[in-house]
Amino acid sequence: MPDTTLMVVVPRSGSIDPEKAISAKLDWISAELERMNAVKAILGDDKVMFGGSYLSIAFEKSGNEILIPDFTKGRLVVRATDISRRREMIRRWFIKESSAYVVRKVSEFAPIAGASPSGVDVREIAKWGYCTRTGRLSFSWQLIALPDRLKEYVVWHELTHLHVFDHSAAFRKALSKVCPDFKQREHELDLILPYKLPVS
């Protein structure tokens, strides 16, 4: 869950009345709090999102590390020597699954988009995806957590950057040709909070 603490910073001159400033922005503050409370986190202590649905995480102490997803029961069994290993094991599983997904989807969508990326990879990045000026597409290791329609949107978005590098009106027009409801998908994507890896 995101931190919903409201912090008001007032200039030292004291020329701004904090109560008036908050009153003036109350509608915006309420809307932001509502949006933040609607956000879904990909990875929590007891659940993980995969394909847009949550799996409950069940830890079993074991000498052999293995992940056993059971989609019919909506759970992910994590077997490891210590519970602290679960996040790293899930991260590795996500990298493998996201990599397979993007290779498959980029191959499927690139001819439709009339695009030819110079390469495709999955890595630990803050964004869902990005395109380099050399035409390389990179995607977040957490992409596999998203529902299909949002994963597809991210792939369409990055493929479109091979034609229009910025987010101009021309980009949005090109994106709408392959993904007509892209604005709705962007809104849905804004409600999903990626897991931030601890800084080591």
125 with 75, same domain: the answer is no
Q: In Å, what is the CA distance from 145 to each residue of 91, 114, 150, 167? A: 11, 27, 10, 25
Between 155 and 30, whose confidence is greater? 155
20 with 47, same domain: the answer is no
57 with 116, same domain: the answer is no
67 with 79, same domain: the answer is yes
pLDDT of residue 38: 63
Min mean pLDDT across 37-41, 43-47, 105-109, 181-185 is at: 37-41
Structural domain contains residue 199? no
Instruction: Please identify which residue in the block is written with the tokens 């869902």.
Output: 128
Q: In Å, what is the CA distance from 84 to each residue of 46, 59, 88? A: 12, 10, 8
User: What's the pLDDT band for 28 if we cut at 50, 70, 90?
Assistant: confident
For 121-143, the pLDDT digits (tens) are: 999 998 999 999 999 999 999 99
pLDDT surpassing 60 at residue 200: no
User: What's the pLDDT band for 26 if we cut at 50, 70, 90?
Assistant: confident
pLDDT of residue 30: 77
Q: Choose one of 28, 58, 83: the last residue of a domain.
A: 83
34 with 104, same domain: the answer is no
pLDDT of residue 3: 66
Between 65 and 1, whose confidence is greater? 65
147 with 53, same domain: the answer is no
User: What's the pLDDT band for 100 if we cut at 50, 70, 90?
Assistant: very high
Domain holding 100: CATH number? 3.30.2010.10
Q: Which helix (H) or strand (E) holds 60?
A: strand 53-61
d(CA 8, CA 106): 45
165 with 188, same domain: the answer is yes
Provide the residue range defining the domain that includes 62: 41-83
Min mean pLDDT across 29-38, 114-123, 130-139 is at: 29-38
Across the chain, mean pLDDT equals 91
114 with 139, same domain: the answer is yes
d(CA 157, CA 68): 32
100 with 125, same domain: the answer is yes
The angle at the Cα of 195, spanning 56 to 45, to the nearest 5 degrees, equals 35
